[in-house]
Chains A and B, each alone.
Chain A
Amino acid sequence: MRLSATDLACRRGGRDVFAGVSFSVASGESLTIRGRNGAGKSSLLRIVAGLVRIAGGHLSVEGGDPELTVGEQAHYLGHLDALKPSLSVEENLRFWSAFLGATAVDFNEPLRAVGLDALADLPAAYLSAGQRRRLSIARLLAVKRPLWLLDEPTSTLDAAAQLQLSAIMQTHLAGGGIILAATHSPLPLDGARELNLDGASAPTVAMEESA
Chain B
Amino acid sequence: MTPLAAILIRDMRIAVRVGGGALMGVLFFLVVVTLVPFALGPDLALLKRVGPAILWLAALLASLLALDRLFAADHDDGSLDLILMGRAPLEIVVATKGLAHWLTTGLPLVIAAPLIGLFLNLDAPAAGALVLTLLVGTPALTFIGLIGAAIAVTLRRGGLLLAVLVLPLTVPVLIFGVAAANAAVVGPIPFGTPFTILCALTLASLVVGPFAAAAALRQEME
* Chain B 207-222 interface 0/1 with A at a Cβ cutoff of 8 Å (1 = within): 0000000000000011
In the complex, what residue of chain B is closest to A149 when comparing beta carbons? B85
A118 to chain B minimum Cβ distance, whole angstroms, is 22
Give the interface segment out of A79-87, A179-187, A188-196.
A79-87
Question: B3 at interface (Cβ–Cβ under 8 A)?
Answer: yes
Give the interface segment out of B11-19, B53-61, B181-189.
B11-19
In the complex, what residue of chain B is closest to A12 when comparing beta carbons? B222
Within 8 A of A (CB), among B72-86: 76-79, 81-86
Indicate the member of A53, A74, A95 with the most B CB atoms within 10 Å.
A95
Report Cα–Cα, A96/B6, bound state, in Å.
8
Q: Verify B13–A72 contact, CB threshold 8 A.
A: no
Q: Verify B10–A84 contact, CB threshold 8 A.
A: yes
* Chain B 172-206 interface 0/1 with A at a Cβ cutoff of 8 Å (1 = within): 00000000000000000000000000000000000
Question: B88 at interface (Cβ–Cβ under 8 A)?
Answer: yes
Taking CB atoms, residues of chain A closer than 8 Å to B20 are 86
Give the interface segment out of A26-34, A98-106, A202-210.
A98-106
Q: A80-B78, A99-B3, A101-B3 are in contact. Are A87 and B85 (CB under 8 A)?
A: no
Taking CB atoms, residues of chain A closer than 8 Å to B221 are 51-52
Question: B87 at interface (Cβ–Cβ under 8 A)?
Answer: yes
Question: B92 at interface (Cβ–Cβ under 8 A)?
Answer: no
Taking CB atoms, residues of chain A closer than 8 Å to B81 are 46, 49, 51, 76, 78, 80, 82
Within 8 A of A (CB), among B33-86: 76-79, 81-86
Q: Verify A98–B2 contact, CB threshold 8 A.
A: yes
Q: A95-B10, A98-B1, A98-B6 are in contact. Are A51 and B78 (CB under 8 A)?
A: no
* Chain A 54-88 interface 0/1 with B at a Cβ cutoff of 8 Å (1 = within): 00000000000000100110101011111111110
Question: A152 at interface (Cβ–Cβ under 8 A)?
Answer: no
Q: Verify B83–A80 contact, CB threshold 8 A.
A: no
B81 to chain A minimum Cβ distance, whole angstroms, is 6
Contact of B19 among A68, A76, A86, A99 (CB under 8 A): A86
Q: Verify A79–B78 contact, CB threshold 8 A.
A: yes
Q: Verify B13–A98 contact, CB threshold 8 A.
A: no
Q: Verify B6–A95 contact, CB threshold 8 A.
A: yes
Report Cα–Cα, A98/B4, bound state, in Å.
9
Taking CB atoms, residues of chain A closer than 8 Å to B27 are none
Q: Verify A82–B5 contact, CB threshold 8 A.
A: no
Q: A50-B85, A96-B82, A99-B82 are in contact. Are A80 and B77 (CB under 8 A)?
A: yes
Question: B163 at interface (Cβ–Cβ under 8 A)?
Answer: no
Q: Verify B3–A87 contact, CB threshold 8 A.
A: no
Taking CB atoms, residues of chain B closer than 8 Å to A51 are 81, 84-85, 221
Indicate the member of A80, A99, A100 with the most B CB atoms within 10 Å.
A99
Q: A81-B77, A81-B78, A83-B77 are in contact. Are A98 and B85 (CB under 8 A)?
A: no
Q: A53-B222, A91-B13, A98-B6 are in contact. Are A82 and B86 (CB under 8 A)?
A: no
Q: A86-B14, A91-B13, A98-B3 are in contact. Are A76 and B85 (CB under 8 A)?
A: yes
**Which 8 pairs of residues, A with B, have the shortest CB-CB distance?**
A80-B78, A98-B6, A86-B17, A82-B78, A98-B1, A82-B79, A71-B85, A99-B3
Q: Could you write out 16 A-B pairs with CB less than 8 Å apart?
A: A46-B81, A50-B85, A68-B87, A72-B87, A76-B82, A80-B78, A82-B77, A82-B79, A86-B20, A87-B13, A91-B10, A94-B6, A95-B9, A98-B2, A100-B87, A101-B3
Instruction: Name B residues whose Cβ lies closer than 8 Å to a Cβ of A.
Output: 1-3, 5-7, 9-10, 13-14, 17-20, 76-79, 81-88, 221-222
Instruction: Name A residues whose Cβ lies closer than 8 Å to a Cβ of B.
Output: 46, 49-53, 68, 71-72, 74, 76, 78-87, 91, 94-96, 98-101
